Amino acid sequence: MARRGDRKGRTRAQVPGAAAPAMGRIGVRVTVSERRGRTARHTLDPAAYRCTTLAAQLADEAVEYVRKMALSDHGGAYLGAVRKFADFVDRQLGDAAEAARLDDARVDLPEVIHEWETALRQEYGLRSGQPYRLVSTVLALIAERGNRDQAVPERLRRRATAPPIFPEPRSAPLDEFSNAERIDLRDAARRQVRELEGRLEHGRDLLAAGRDPREHGWHELPNLLWAAREGMLSTAVLGKNLPHKVKWWPAVLREVDPGPGRLRKSGLRALITGLGRMLFPREIDLMPFRILLLLAMADTTPEELLDLKLTDIEVSGEGVRLVQRKARARRVRADLHPAAGGGGAWDAPGLLRRLLAATALTRETFTAEPWLFLAVEPHRHTGTLEAGAATFTRGGRRFTHWIVAQADGTGRPLEISLPHDARRLRKTAKTARTAALGGTVSDLAGDDHHVEVFRGHYAHGTTAHLMAGRAIARAQQWVFQRALDKPLFIETEAEKRLTEPETANAAGLSEDQARDMLAGQLDMGLANCRDPYDSPFTTGSQPCHVAPAMCMLCRNAVVFTSQLPRLLMLADHIGTMRTRLEPPRWQALWGRQAAALTELFTEYAEYIPAARKEIEDKRLTLHLPLGLRTEYDR
Using alpha carbons, select from 327, 330, 293 the residue that is nearest to residue 313: 293
Rounded-to-integer distance, Cα 272 and Cα 370, Å:
24
In the structure, what pLDDT confidence band is assigned to residue 629 with cuts at 50, 70 and 90?
A: low
Rounded-to-integer distance, Cα 304 and Cα 448, Å:
13
Rounded-to-integer distance, Cα 152 and Cα 562, Å:
83
100-104, 183-187, 554-558, 608-612: the lowest-pLDDT one: 554-558
Query: Average pLDDT of the chain?
Result: 80
Interval 282-311: pLDDT, tens: 999 999 999 999 888 877 888 888 888 888
Element (H, E) at 11: none
pLDDT at 457 over 60: no
Q: Are 518 and 498 in contact (CB under 8 A)?
A: yes
What is the residue type of 335? D
**pLDDT score for 264:** 46
User: What are the angstrom distances between the C-alpha of 623 and each of 175, 524, 548, 620, 629?
Assistant: 53, 12, 11, 9, 10
Interval 242-264: pLDDT, tens: 888 888 888 888 888 887 654 44
Backbone angles phi, psi at 528, to 5 degrees: -85, 160
The DSSP bridge partners found for residue 40 are 33
pLDDT at 382 over 80: yes
Q: Are 117 and 131 in contact (CB under 8 A)?
A: yes
pLDDT at 358 over 90: yes
Give 226 or 172, the one with higher predicted confidence: 226
Element (H, E) at 595: helix 592-603
**pLDDT score for 9:** 43
Domain spans in the chain, listed from the N-terminal domain onward: 29-161, 209-279, 283-428, 438-482, 484-632
**pLDDT score for 111:** 93
Give 34 or 80, the one with higher predicted confidence: 80
pLDDT at 240 over 70: yes
Using alpha carbons, select from 621, 631, 626, 629 the residue that is nearest to residue 569: 621
Would you tell me how many other CB atoms lie within 10 Å of the CB of residue 113?
22
Backbone angles phi, psi at 284, to 5 degrees: -70, -25
Q: Are 430 and 323 in contact (CB under 8 A)?
A: no
**pLDDT score for 436:** 59
84-88, 95-99, 238-242, 448-452: the lowest-pLDDT one: 448-452
In percent, the amount of the chain with pLDDT more than 90 equals 18
Average pLDDT over residues 211-235: 89
Rounded-to-integer distance, Cα 482 and Cα 182, Å:
40
Q: Are 246 and 258 in contact (CB under 8 A)?
A: no
SS3 per residue for 495-550: HHCCCCHHHHHHCCCCHHHHHHHHCCCCECCCCEECCCCCCCCCCCCCCCCCCCCC
Using alpha carbons, select from 239, 228, 467 the residue that is nearest to residue 365: 228
Rounded-to-integer distance, Cα 91 and Cα 100, Å:
13
In the structure, what pLDDT confidence band is assigned to residue 12 with cuts at 50, 70 and 90?
A: very low
Average pLDDT over residues 512-517: 85
Angle at 137 between CA 134 and CA 139, to 5 degrees: 110
In the structure, what pLDDT confidence band is assigned to residue 454 with cuts at 50, 70 and 90?
A: low
Burial category of 351 from C-beta neighbours within 10 Å (exposed 0-12, middle 13-18, buried 19 and up): buried
pLDDT at 476 over 50: yes
